[in-house]
Structure 1
Amino acid sequence: MSDLSSERLKAAVLALYQARPVEGPPGDDGQRSVWHLSTQGAELLSFVDPEGRVQRQELTLLDEHCVWSNGVGLRTGRVEQDGAARADTSVVHPDAQPVPARLLRAALALEHYEGEDRYILHIQRVLALARQGLVLAGGAGAAPAPAAPRASAPQASTPAAPSPVPFQAPSVDPVMLRRQKTEGLTMLIVLGVGLLFSVWLLYWLL
């Protein structure tokens, strides 16, 4: 994928923000699709249940792909297409395991969005949680697929806020442990000095 600072990626993300969502008719299960399509190589396809809760989202940024599904989590992949423009014949090759670098690039690409589109806000939040989990896990080489947040009915202008994505528990910070031990020792010393002073004062008064 092109570097995040490239003009091509910036143009693709900006065009995605400006894209007018197109809603499809409800299917047999009551779900409907909401499609944000950018002519610059970015695309967001969302699937919403009858109650308005996001159930699945597919994000394409140039030649990389991220998929979030409620109850499954995040997956990544690579997009193969003919020519520079995205075509109907584009093929997504899923990764065997979620690739942390792809998740981080997608999260960084969307982190500055400040609009009110609830579908973009939803995938932005999901990717931000995934990025946070990767950082806490120490940037492990193989990121576990984050569990899907429980979808809740969104309000008029805000997305259903996904629950925090669980990752491997971070290791205990040794600096914090030393700080806690030092603070504990200091408190013991202060209490000891106070006790000795009290005994001396009592002896002097008697």
Structure 2
Amino acid sequence: MKAAVQALFQSRPVEGPPGDDGQRSVWHLSPQGAELLSFVDPEGRVQRQELTLLEEHCVWTSGVGLRTGRVEHEGAARTESNIVHPDAELVPARLLRAALALEAYQGNDRYILHIQRVLALARQGLVLSGGATTPSAPSRAPSQGPAPLAPSVSQVPPPSVDPVMLQRQKTEGLTMLIVLGVGLVLGVGLLLWLI
């Protein structure tokens, strides 16, 4: 997977012509089995991205979020005929493997940076919700289903809560309530004075 991702980082994007709706596609492809297909609106905003890393598949759509799936390759070449089987629910192991594979990217390709940020945020959400663990070995054969999650050890630190920040948030909330109350009392007083 690392070789495929490194080749993806070095690939030159191929930009398709705008469609009827003005949306265009940008395609990154590595011969080692990594592919990133991005759909961009006329203003240049990414609307959808499909990332394939060997047999792993992640799809992000604006307004919908992130989904996972697996890719089944038919034919001798990887690109001959690929069938994507979407997962019924988000599979954290697939998401974490993709996030870990892309976290080393330090280039300036805006499309790779976008999917890298999407996956990093999704990974952070899993960590904060307590549902993240370190992915185990690569996914098994399609008939065996998704790979199980290994227990979290050292790659994903447990979330910590800063007590100073928590106290500061409580103080700020109380201050805002006091300001709102004083403003309300002054507003009512001014209204009564004008009447």
In the alignment, which residue of structure 2 is the partner of 1:22? 14
Q: CA deviation at 1:88?
A: 3.6
After TM superposition, the structure 1 = structure 2 runs for residues 1-206 of structure 1, keeping only pairs within 5 Å, are 9-82=1-74, 85-139=77-131
Question: 8 Å contact 1:33–1:46 — kept in the other structure?
Answer: yes
CA separation in 1, counterparts of 2:95 and 2:132? 12
From the superposition, tell whether residues 30 and 133 of structure 1 become closer, same or farther in structure 2 (CA, over 3 Å): same
Counterpart code for 2:121? L
Question: 8 Å contact 1:39–1:85 — kept in the other structure?
Answer: no
Counterpart code for 1:86? R
Q: CA deviation at 1:85?
A: 3.6
CA separation in 2, counterparts of 1:131 and 1:34? 25
| Structure ID, larger Rg | 1
CA separation in 2, counterparts of 1:84 and 1:138? 41
Report runs of 4+ in structure 1 exceeding 4 Å deviation.
none
3-state secondary structure, aligned to 1:122: helix
TM-score after normalising by structure 1: 0.64
Question: 8 Å contact 1:41–1:85 — kept in the other structure?
Answer: no
Q: CA RMSD in A?
A: 2.4
CA separation in 2, counterparts of 1:131 and 1:65? 15
CA separation in 2, counterparts of 1:140 and 1:61? 20
3-state secondary structure, aligned to 1:56: strand
Total equivalences in the alignment: 141
Question: 8 Å contact 1:40–1:85 — kept in the other structure?
Answer: no
Higher relative contact order (CA 8 A, sep 6+): 1
CA separation in 2, counterparts of 1:138 and 1:108? 18
Counterpart code for 2:54? L
> Structure 1: where are the runs of 5+ without partners?
1-8, 142-170, 181-206
In the alignment, which residue of structure 2 is the partner of 1:155? none
3-state secondary structure, aligned to 2:81: coil
> Structure 2: where are the runs of 5+ without partners?
134-158, 168-195
1:69-91: CA deviations, max 9, x gaps? 00100000000003564224100
